[in-house]
Amino acid sequence: MPQRTKPPAVARQQTRATGDGLTWVEPLPVLINPLSGNRLRLSFPASAPHPDMERLSVEEIRPLLAAFESFRPRARPRLRLMMESPGATDSGQERTAPWELRLREDFLSRYGPALLPVPESLETSRLAFALKLSTRYMDEGIREAAQELFSAPAFLASVSLSVLVYFAAWLAPEPLFSKAFAAALTVRLSLLVGLVELGRLAMACLRLYQEAEAAITPQELEAAAERFGKALGGTALRVLVVVASLGVPQVIPKVPKGGLWTLLSPLRHAPAGGPALESLATVQVVADGSLLVTGVAAGTSAASLCGELATCATMHGGGSSSGGGPKLSTRYGKPHTRQNPPHNEAIEQELARREAAGHTSLRKNKAQMDADGEPIYDPASAAGVRFRKPDVSSIRPDGVRHNTNYVSNPQQMQRELDAFDDMVRLDRAAIHDLYKLDGSLVRRYVPPGVNFP
């Protein structure tokens, strides 16, 4: 039977105002599944960007700009656009400045070798020129800060290296980060802003590079810069600043304490460092939207990996009624079970996706309902169950009922398949599906004449 992975969707998050005028957003749980060989699988829910991270002021980045200025003092801009045909070689007039050579060495020593060709001069490259142009098209809430940042030659060169070295790794179908620093950073950023947001930024950077290199006319380069500028939100710009800045270790000590990580502080539920993250060997971005982490120190807990403010749920040894386990989401109803937090979180996330898609009658672990909204009694159930209870049930905007169950334990697969068959038998006018917790589809029934995307 073909497997189908559910596409990521935006989940609803609870918010409240804080005394300092910021908006606090309840983080959605990260599911952590311990595997053999000191490995972890981290599954990230897709969520809307934090409202306070979608803006970036000049005041927030001034300490960082000052640190970059000390690395390479601001000089008269030397950027110039040379529209040679693709593949043409440099004339040799542009030489790599000593400060840029030092920056490259630092960057490559932390992130690993460049995966895309590095131009003779980053400062005068097409990519750097396109980055500068892109600030014209950024949102008003970040435009001024971006223009200040991208006018600093050392910072602009560092961003260019970020694209050529770190974000270039995302070109692979399932990107693999084998350099310890890059692996740890990928986990940190995924915990802070989400894997989906990080992946979108990487793809936007790579598209800008490809289109800038392929541009024949200034108009084509401008169009590429416009697409990038409009695609870059405040959260993505903050991540870009962090990735670029961490590649220049001389800059970091000159930034006030916490300066870099405070750029991501509204969502900060991951540590800036620590033994758990520093021990990582590799990180792979899996096609199902999760991270496969290897080289994790034995005995590492979810709390030590995610930080004290994280909402992480472990796949084994979940919470108990004593309150010592991970916090369970109850936005759509009481916990499905406290002994299996990932199952509960999968239900909550699916209900959030459906609410965002306009579904009504959102129900969590409630009796299966018929077209009249009445519980469906099952007199023929071989297991003696009177009412089937889908993990998730809702009504689509077109009026079609949709029921979903999840399989947590593969050893109970047959029981779940029998329950699926019973639910289909009881209501053949509804959509029914059965998923594993990793998002892979086990079985689906769609009524004749009903469209399913």
pTM of the model: 0.62
The tens digit of pLDDT for each residue in 61-77 reads: 888 888 887 766 454 44
As beta bridge partners, residue 33 has: 41
Burial group, residue 90, by CB count within 10 angstroms (0-12, 13-18, 19+): middle
- In 215-321, alpha helices (H): 218-231, 234-246, 275-278, 302-306
Token output for 235:
């959260």
Q: How many CB atoms lie within 10 A of CB 20?
A: 6
Domain boundaries, the chain: 25-302, 358-445
DSSP state of 42: E
Q: In what order do the strands lie in the sheet with 392-395?
A: 360-364, 392-395, 401-407, 431-436, 441-445
DSSP structure string for 72-139: S-----------PPTTPPP-S-----HHHHHHHHHHHHHH-S-SSPPPS-STTSHHHHHHHHHGGGS-
* CA-to-CA dists, residue 29 to 169, 191, 302, 321, 364, angstroms: 26, 10, 11, 18, 18
The tens digit of pLDDT for each residue in 129-162 reads: 999 999 999 999 999 999 999 998 889 999 999 9
* CA-to-CA dists, residue 49 to 7, 27, 151, 364, 373, angstroms: 18, 11, 26, 26, 36
Residue 286 to residue 192: CA distance in whole angstroms: 18
Q: How many CB atoms lie within 10 A of CB 140?
A: 7
Contact 330, 29 (CB under 8 A): no
Token look-up 């990180």 returns: 283
Helix (H) or strand (E) holding 198: helix 195-214
Residue 168 to residue 114: CA distance in whole angstroms: 8
Query: How would you write the pLDDT of the chain (453 residues) with one tens digit per residue?
Result: 333 344 444 444 444 444 444 444 455 567 777 777 778 888 776 666 677 788 999 988 888 888 887 766 454 444 445 454 444 444 444 577 888 888 898 889 889 888 899 998 898 899 999 999 999 999 999 999 999 999 988 899 999 999 999 999 998 888 999 888 898 889 888 888 888 889 999 999 999 999 999 999 999 999 999 999 999 999 999 999 999 988 887 776 667 655 676 777 655 444 444 445 556 778 999 877 788 888 766 455 544 555 543 455 554 433 333 344 456 777 788 887 666 777 887 888 788 788 878 889 999 989 898 888 888 887 766 555 577 889 999 999 999 999 999 987 777 788 889 889 989 999 999 999 998 877 788 899 999 999 887
Helix axes 195-214, 218-231, angle to 10 degrees: 170
